[in-house]
Structure formats: structure tokens, C-alpha cells
Amino acid sequence: MDSANQSWIPEPLSSLQRGLAQILSSYVTHDGNQRDPIPFMFFLFTAIVAALIWRMFQGERSTPALPPGSFGLPIIGDTISYLSAYQNMTTKKWFEEKRKKYGPLFKTSVMFQKTVFLDEPGGCKLMFGQPDEKLIGGVYSKSNRVIAGPNSLILENGKVHKTYRKYLITHFLGADAVGRYLPLMEQNALDHIQRYWLSKEDGARVIALELLQMFTFSIATELLLSIKDVAVVEELRSIFAEYSLGMMSTTINLPGFQYHRSLKCRDKIHNIFQASIEKRRGELKEGLASPNQDYLSIFLTQPDENGHFHTDEQIRVLLTNIVWAGSDTTAASMSMVLRAVSKHPEVYKELIEEHRAIAANRTEGEPLTRQEVRSMKYTWAVIQETLRITPATTDISRQAMADIDHKGYIIPKGYKLVCSAAQSMWNPDVYPDPEKFDPSRFLRTGATKSTEPFTFFAFGGSTRYCPGQEFAKLSMLAFFHHFFKNVVYTMEEPEERVLYRFMVYPEKGMPLRIQKCKLY
């Protein structure tokens, strides 16, 4: 046992450990013959029982007050029941049972880690309103850490994370930077809709999630690496699809296991990106590429706030992370928007009216302006309400970097902290009638609890607020403006289940029947 794990053992128990070790050594004679085992077994049994009784009573007197709850079964804790609820969209029921038993703030053990599920809004305010990463820091599974790679933004804490984040927002993902990409995003949306939707016969069947992944991936690869060749984009997308499956896999690096396949795909991606880095470095030197041509050029020509240029390894990892995070989650959320709109005709009608009004004030074929995109307030409210009910991921996790005092309880250093949609975005005390799809919640200003801080965290919060929110927002709004104009659709399986793996997805990819139209 290492020193970190020994630190919790009281001195009497440590002494007992040493005593047992001595007895064990005396159990075998110098000539290797065993002694009579009965006295030893009797002593061992008595010592274990005495230690357990002592531990129970001593623990009650000396252990700080932990939040109520139970760590569940030995070793596995509540992992099986929680993962089953998470993957099958029964998380709300799982939380309701826990709340009835322990209250809104409770402890358990999930994924072999002691975990505290925080209450709302106090717990979420604690986690998202805490800028000091000496108190609360990021936490990810081993598979997530290894597959994401070293120098990944999501894995860094403190000053390093802040520097990475500032660089990305300044050059790529801030509102001003993203606004410059609107023409490219809109053109990608137009090309995609024409190639994959309008080219089909009326009544054709399409798998929405797959097509939306193609759209978001094409934007990411063009902005990052100036890749426009459809065949190259699709080949790279297939590698990323296999890569992403390992994010929550069991860390068994042997052939036949997902973790092994995902690591192989990560290596392929990094080799492709390394070739792009070397080629672009030569193009920049020869004047065949501009310093602001795309993200890759900026990485190679713009230092961070400390004057440091990124290494090739850092660039490979950052490019990989941005492509993955910027395409998969956005496409999944877009599929959930189409699902929600299909189920609520009144929402669809209001969407069409908003976009028709925007189109009426400009000439046919004119590109969207940033002001027009900002005026799509109802569309954005529809997206937000979709993310409230079916967020890309239901839980946001952090780690206690020191002992935390919360509502009279101590959350020990090393515990995982979790804010869950079930505690906030699906909670009737926070969002009245939470199962009702009501975009108007996000059009009010202070009229209900739904607009209070720390109650909506579809994009995370605090220092780890998703830096790609503006990127995702703009690409979705540009796409939906042209999609609703040109395509009407019906869900082939209206009751198709929504599930979670690492993120939300429709179980069968959401098959649609589509028809061409021109509504504005």
C-alpha cells in the first residue's frame, strides 16, 4: 500500500498491521515447516473483528460529517445502476430514488471513485461559481485522459488551462473570431443541404445524425486545415468516429477491445496532422499559405500570451480535440433539435415565421449577416430548450482539490463532484413542468427561476465553460435557416429512444422522410 493510501489509517490500525505481519512471519519456522495453524487463525479472526468494531466506533467520533448517502457495493459502488440509468435515459428516476432516501445532496461511489452529487442551486453555484482551481479542478476518466492525449485543453488546470483557453478564444472561438467564419459556415450549409438533402427524391429516407455529422465535420476540417475534398473529409471522419468510441471505454489495450482500436485511430489522426503541419510549415516559408489561412496557420505563426509557440505535439493534440469536440457534440444536439421540432408543430410554425421575416428583408441569394443571425432569438431559444431536456451530456464533473465545506458537510479532497441535469435542468423546483418543451423559458428575463444563474449548464460553467459555444451556435443557426427553408421532414420512428454513450444520440440515428420545399 502506498503512502497516499495509508494516510487514512489510524495509528492503532497501523500498529495492528505491523503486529499481524510479525505473526505471519512467525507462522513459518526457520527450516520452512509450518506450525499448527489453529492458534494463528483464531487470533487473526479475533483481531479482524476487534479492528472492525474499533473502526466503526472510532469513525463515528472522528470522521468529519460527510454528505448523507451510501457508497454502495464493495469496490463497484453504484456504478452498475448509475451507468444503466445514464445509458437508458432513466437518470431522473435514479436521482428521485436517491433524493427520497438522502435528500438533494448525497454521496455514492461511481466508476470506482467516491462521488458527491451536488444539490441545486447551491451545489451548482459552488462548482460553477468557483474560479479557484486550487479548490475545484477538472476530472476525467483514464480512457478519456489517454485518448485525448497530453496537452489537451480539457485535461489541464490552473494557469496552463487559462493560457490555452485564452489563445483559442482570442484566435478561433470567441464571438468576434467566430463571426468572421459566418460566410464559410453558411456556404458549407448551402453546399451540404444541396448535396445530401435536396439531391434526394421526395419521400427519400435519410439518417439525420449521420448527415449532420458530415456537415459539422466538414466545417471543422475546413476551418482547421483548409481541407475541402469530400473524399478526404469522409475518410478522416470515419477514423474520428472509431476514435471517439474509446472515450468511455475500459482501458484494456489489447486487440479486439475498443480502447485499443481508439488508440490506433488516435495515432492515425496524429500522423495525418503531423504531415499537414510539416507541409504547411513549408508553404508558409515559401509564401504559398497565409498566416491567417486557417487554425493550423495561426498555430504555427501566432505565439501565446507568454510568447511561446506551440510544439508539433501540442498542435496535433489541440487539432484533434477541436475537431472531435466541435463536430460530434454539435451534430448530436442538432439531431435533438430536429426531433423536438418534429414533435411540436406550434414550435415549427413559429420557427418558420421568424426565418421568413428575416428572409423578407433581404434579396434572394444574399449571404446572412451577423445582425440577422443575432435576430434568430426564437431559434436559439428552441436550441437551448432542446439542450435543457436532452443535453449533450447529462453530468458535469469536477474534482475537489482540497477539503470543501458545503452546507455543514465536508467533501474531502479527491472526491468527484457532479452537477446533473436531473438535479437542475429536469428539476420541477427549478424549471416548472420540466418535461414540457417550452422555448419561451429562454425568452424571459428574470420572470422565472429558469433564468437564474447556475441552473442551465448545457455548455458547462465557470473557468471550464465550453469555449466552442459561439462556434456551435453560429453553425447551427446558419444551417437551420437554410434547412427549414428547403426541407420538410417527418420522423420515420417518432418513438425512437434517445440514449447516452459518451454523449446523447438517437438509438437508430433518427431516420427521416424528406421532401423539398421553399417556404421563404
What is the model's pTM?
A: 0.83
Among 503, 516, 491, 401, CA closest to 132: 401
d(CA 327, CA 332): 9
Domain match, 241 and 382 both: yes
The residues with which 114 forms a beta bridge, in sequence order, are: 109
- How far apart CA 9 and CA 121 sit, in angstroms, is 35
Report the pLDDT value the prediction gives residue 4, as an integer from 0 to 100. Answer: 37
Residue-level pLDDT at 303: 94
pLDDT above 70 covers what percent of the chain? Answer: 85
Higher local confidence (pLDDT), 452 or 49: 452
Edge-to-edge strands, sheet with 395-400: 106-110, 113-117, 416-420, 395-400, 136-138
Per-residue confidence (pLDDT) for residue 75, from 0 to 100: 87
Q: Does 94 have pLDDT greater than 80?
A: yes
- 54 and 147 part of one domain: no
If one compares 357 and 174, the residue with the highest pLDDT of the two is 357
Of the residues 46, 63, 80, the one at which a domain ends = 63
**pLDDT band per the 50, 70, 90 thresholds, residue 446:** low
Is 177 a residue whose pLDDT tops 90? Answer: no
What does the pLDDT average to over 402-430?
92
Instruction: Report the chain's C-alpha Rg in angstroms.
Output: 27
Indicate if 58 and 174 belong to the same structural domain: no
DSSP code at position 311 = P
Mean pLDDT, range 464-475, rounded to an integer: 88
Across 55-64, 165-174, 288-297, 399-408, least confident range: 55-64
Residues 30 and 173 in one domain: no
Q: What is the mean pLDDT of the chain?
A: 85
Q: Is the pLDDT of residue 404 over 80?
A: yes
Distance, CA of 450 to CA of 456 (rounded, Å): 8
Confidence check: pLDDT of 452 > 90: no
Give 18-45 pLDDT, tens digit per residue: 444 443 444 344 344 444 445 445 544 5
Residues 213-227 have pLDDT tens digits of: 999 999 999 999 999
Domain presence at residue 114: no
Q: Which of 137-146, 167-176, 358-367, 434-443 is predicted least confidently?
A: 137-146
| Helices within 344-405 (DSSP H only) | 345-360, 370-374, 377-389
124 is in an annotated binding site: no
- Which of 63, 81, 115 lies at the terminal end of a domain, its last residue? 63
* Residue-wise pLDDT tens digits, 478-516: 999 999 999 999 999 999 999 987 789 999 999 999 999
Q: Is 15 exposed, middle or buried (0-12, 13-18, 19+ CB in 10 A)?
A: exposed
Between 21-35, 187-201, 231-245, 442-456, the lowest mean confidence (pLDDT) is in 21-35
Q: Of the candidates 401, 419, 397, 421, which has an alpha carbon nearest to the alpha carbon of residue 411? A: 401
6 with 153, same domain: the answer is no
* Cα(236)–Cα(252) distance, integer angstroms: 25
Task: Specify the higher pLDDT residue, 210 or 64.
Answer: 210
d(CA 353, CA 347): 10
Residue 514, phi then psi, degrees to nearest 5: -125, 155
Q: Is the pLDDT of residue 62 over 50?
A: no
DSSP 8-state class, residue 63:
S
What confidence score (pLDDT) does residue 23 get? 39
Check residues 443 and 145 and name the one with the higher pLDDT.
443
Question: Do 72 and 78 form a contact (C-beta atoms < 8 A)?
Answer: yes
Same domain, 36 and 166: no
pLDDT at 246 over 60: yes
My answer on whether 147 and 247 are in the same domain is yes
Q: What is the pLDDT of residue 445?
A: 62
Question: 294 with 171, same domain?
Answer: yes
- 122 domain-assigned: no
Query: If you search the block for the grid coordinates 486557417, which residue do you land on?
Result: 294
Confidence of residue 419 (pLDDT cuts 50, 70, 90): very high
Read off the pLDDT of each residue in 455-467 and give the average, rounded to a whole number: 82
- CATH code where residue 280 lies: 1.10.630.10
Q: Classify residue 97: in a domain, yes or no.
A: no
Contact 158, 166 (CB under 8 A): no
pLDDT score, position 1: 41
pLDDT reported for residue 49: 57
User: In which domain, by residue range, is 239 found?
Assistant: 142-516
Domain assignment present for 106: no
- 176 and 39 housed in the same domain: no
CA dihedral of residues 217, 220, 225, 228 (deg, nearest 10): 50
Q: What is the pLDDT of residues 260-316, one digit of tens each?
A: 999 999 999 999 999 999 999 999 999 999 999 999 999 999 999 889 999 999 999
Residues 200 and 339 in one domain: yes
Categorize the per-residue pLDDT at 16 as very low, low, confident or very high, splitting at 50, 70 and 90.
Answer: very low
On whether residue 232 sits in a domain, the answer given is yes
Query: What confidence tier does 391 reach under pLDDT thresholds 50, 70, 90?
Result: very high
Shortest CA distance to 273 belongs to which of 230, 309, 220? 220
Paired with 77 in beta bridges are 73
* Residue 104 within any structural domain of the chain: no
Average pLDDT estimate for 201-219 = 97
Domain boundary among 47, 63, 79: 63
Is 94 domain-assigned? no
Q: Quick one: average pLDDT of 339-348? A: 98
Per-residue burial over 264-301, b = 16 or more CB atoms within 10 Å of its CB, e = otherwise:
bbbeebbebbeebbeebbeebeeeebeeebbbbbbbbb
Burial of 39: CB neighbours in 10 Å, binned 0-12, 13-18, 19+: exposed
- The number of folded domains in the chain is 2
- Is there a single domain that holds both residue 310 and residue 442? yes
Q: Is residue 71 part of a domain?
A: no
Co-location of 38 and 153 in the same domain: no
Question: Which of 105, 116, 109 has its CA nearest to residue 81?
Answer: 109
Question: Exposure of 326 by Cβ count < 10 A (0-12 exposed, 13-18 middle, 19+ buried)?
Answer: buried
pLDDT of 129 over the 50 cut:
yes
For residue 361, pLDDT over 60 is answered with yes
Nearest Cα to 467, choosing from 199, 173, 248? Answer: 173
